[in-house]
Structure 1
Amino acid sequence: MHIFKNTTYDFLRWRWQAIGLSWVIIIAGAVMFATRGIPLGIEFAGGTAVVAQFDQTPSVQQVRTALDRHYPGGGQNTVVQLYGDSSLRQVMIRVAQQVEAALRQGGVGNFKIVGTEIVGPAVGRELRTKGLSATVLSLAGILLYIAFRFQLSFAVGAVVASIHDLLITLAFLTFFRYDMSLNVIAAILTITGFSTNDTIVIFDRIRENLRSMRRDALGQVINVSVNQTLGRTVITSGTALLTAIALFFFGGEVLHAFAFTMIVGIVTGTYSSVFIAAAIVSFWKGKAPTRAAAHAPAPASAPAVQQPTRKSKPQRKARAS
């Protein structure tokens, strides 16, 4: 199936604009992270998460007011949000201790506790360490594999693109105040692999074209390669994106943060494979012709055809006069 035929887009022409846009988003996310931080899920922060089902759904402010009056420390620093489908009339409250008594004394209506999750601070620290270790090890594995399979410049481009995807995703999680949970970590690792797979497809086409376009500049080879894989990139990313959007709207509250992370990661991963990873390779190798990138083996030259030698006839002896 071909969506794009014989496209000739100059992707490298817009590399500086793409890098500038990425820096704007990353810096804005870093500023918000430094000022407001990113909410940590119950798995990382520790504490208690209570899901209460009410006879009539109260507002979030009513729940906070009840906690302000009857819960030590008040309710302004607790996480209170509607949970699940609206027809279930459920509210999730995440605090450091049990809150059932505070809610009953606050007069927010009849309810029953339908779920409680308690995570100690030691377990939260362990899960934070393991999540960070899994991310770092995955990036190191990507670097080693692509350096072995392709070239070091390709490996650096893929890892920089993956780090770019992680930073952009964390920035959007900070903007929209999603909790950093195990589901989000799983989504981040998933988009890291997805983005790397897309990048490797482009790199493989670049390596093939290095053999057939040895007299062209590297920038021309990269643009041709990205255009040749553009249809495949759009189909693969578009299919995954539709699935993530369906999860976001119909997967329920539990999968909301996971689906949001996947949506941002798929868009960012596709963007970085086309603009960021290819730009890093072009920066690394410069503008030299591809003949200088001698990793592409030279085609075997055909042996010279030898002309048959003609036997010289012996000169006749001079006739005696």
Structure 2
Amino acid sequence: MQIIKPDINIDFVGKKGLAIVLSLVLILAGLVSLVAKGGPRYGIDFAGGTLIQVKFNQPTDAATIRGALAPLNLRGLTVQRFEGEGDEFLLRAQESSAALEGLSHRITEALEGSFGEGQLELRRMEMVGPQAGRELRNRGLLAVLYAMIGILIYVSWRFKFRFAVGAILALLHDVLFTVGIFSLLNKEIDLPIIAAFLGIVGYSLNDTIIVYDRIRENTGKIEKESFPSVINRSINETLSRTIMTSGTTLLVVLALLIFGGGVIQNFALALFIGIMVGTYSSVFVASPVLLYWDEYRARRRGAKG
């Protein structure tokens, strides 16, 4: 099944300059946001502390809940309505390891003292010490780094080193773009988001490998065409497959984003952004890197000659 005509000839290579400027602007906006906010907004998994999800049997608001918890003097207390729910709230407190013990019980007692016994339901509780949070954060970052190194080795072995450089730059582009969007949207980064990043890396690499394989194949059989034309032809020949694969995957992730509920919403959002930008980078980042590399080597040969 093909939704794109096999003889289509869109000039992707001719738009590489505009695409690179667009990518740089969007990534720069995300980096500026990260610097302005002092880094990513880490979730309980990485920052440490306590997270409690509470459902109330009566209408209330965040200010009333904060007032009920004021006597506890909780450090870094935040109260926010659970996304997609009515009277359900997430309570976060950044306390030291010693202070975590018995904290959930004290919070429950304080809330029941204000709202009445039996007027609330504790849905979820997560407790992570600061040291454990730092270790989880470091291991999560190392997981992404090791994945990048493994991809560099694999693509260098499967193709050539210049292909590996293009693939890594495209993956870095995807991760930086997604992290930047999360910072702009003030979304938390926790363990499920790291898992989403690894999923994005795998998905984006799959798209890139498909295009690279066609470029290598066409380079061997179409000797009369220039290298930019070979790249453009290869992208167009794989365009139908790319749209079908990305489109069907996005439908599944979109269903998770809309109907999955607040617990996995950030995870689904990261995948949704990553799949879109991963498809884009396979065409407008990974492939143009090959062209720039080829032009650089040609200039060097010309200078030596």
Residue of structure 1 in register with 2:35 after alignment = 34
User: The residue matched to 1:214 in structure 2 has which SS?
Assistant: coil
How many Å apart are 1:90 and its aligned residue?
Answer: 2.1
The number of residues matched between the two structures is 286
Partner residue of 2:127 out of 106, 111, 118: 118
How many Å apart are 1:104 and its aligned residue?
Answer: 4.0
Partner residue of 1:215 out of 224, 235, 254: 224
Residue of structure 1 in register with 2:246 after alignment = 237
CA distance in 2, matches of 1:258, 1:220: 38
Residue of structure 2 in register with 1:20 after alignment = 21
Contact 1:70 1:106 in 2 (8 A): no
Greater shift in the superposed pair: 113-122 or 246-255: 113-122
Highest Rg: 1 or 2?
A: 1
CA distance in 2, matches of 1:246, 1:198: 22
Greater shift in the superposed pair: 36-45 or 182-191: 36-45
Residue of structure 2 in register with 1:80 after alignment = 79
User: The residue matched to 2:10 in structure 1 has which SS?
Assistant: coil
Contact 1:32 1:175 in 2 (8 A): yes
Counting only pairs closer than 5 Å after superposition, residues 101-250 of structure 1 correspond to structure 2 as: 101-105=109-113, 107=115, 110-250=119-259
CA distance in 1, matches of 2:11, 2:297: 18
Change (3 A) 1:201 1:56: same
How many Å apart are 1:38 and its aligned residue?
Answer: 2.4
User: The residue matched to 1:86 in structure 2 has which SS?
Assistant: coil
TM-score by length of 2: 0.88
Q: Deviations 1:73-127 (Å, cap 9, x if unpaired)?
A: 57xx43322236526x321101035333443455599323232211111211111
Contact 1:70 1:105 in 2 (8 A): no
How many Å apart are 1:285 and its aligned residue?
Answer: 0.8
User: The residue matched to 2:42 in structure 1 has which SS?
Assistant: coil
Which structure has greater helix proportion? Answer: 2
1:11 aligned to 2:19? Answer: no
Contact 1:58 1:108 in 2 (8 A): no
2:239 partner letter:
L
CA distance in 2, matches of 1:44, 1:193: 23
How many Å apart are 1:72 and its aligned residue?
Answer: 1.0
CA distance in 2, matches of 1:120, 1:283: 48
Residue of structure 2 in register with 1:92 after alignment = 90
CA distance in 1, matches of 2:190, 2:114: 30
1:250 partner letter:
F
CA distance in 2, matches of 1:15, 1:223: 11
CA distance in 1, matches of 2:291, 2:72: 59
User: The residue matched to 1:3 in structure 2 has which SS?
Assistant: coil
1:90 partner letter:
E
1:281 aligned to 2:281? Answer: no
CA distance in 2, matches of 1:281, 1:84: 43
Q: Percent identity?
A: 39
2:85 partner letter:
S
Residue of structure 1 in register with 2:54 after alignment = 52
Q: Deviations 1:183-241 (Å, cap 9, x if unpaired)?
A: 11101100100000000000000000001111211100000000000000000001111
Contact 1:47 1:120 in 2 (8 A): yes
1:2 partner letter:
Q
User: The residue matched to 1:70 in structure 2 has which SS?
Assistant: helix
Q: Which runs of 5+ in 1 are unaligned?
A: 293-321
Q: Deviations 1:49-85 (Å, cap 9, x if unpaired)?
A: 1121211142223323434x323157xx433222365
Residue of structure 1 in register with 2:71 after alignment = 70
1:18 partner letter:
A
CA distance in 1, matches of 2:229, 2:168: 23
Greater shift in the superposed pair: 169-178 or 78-87: 78-87
After superposition, the CA RMSD in angstroms is: 2.1
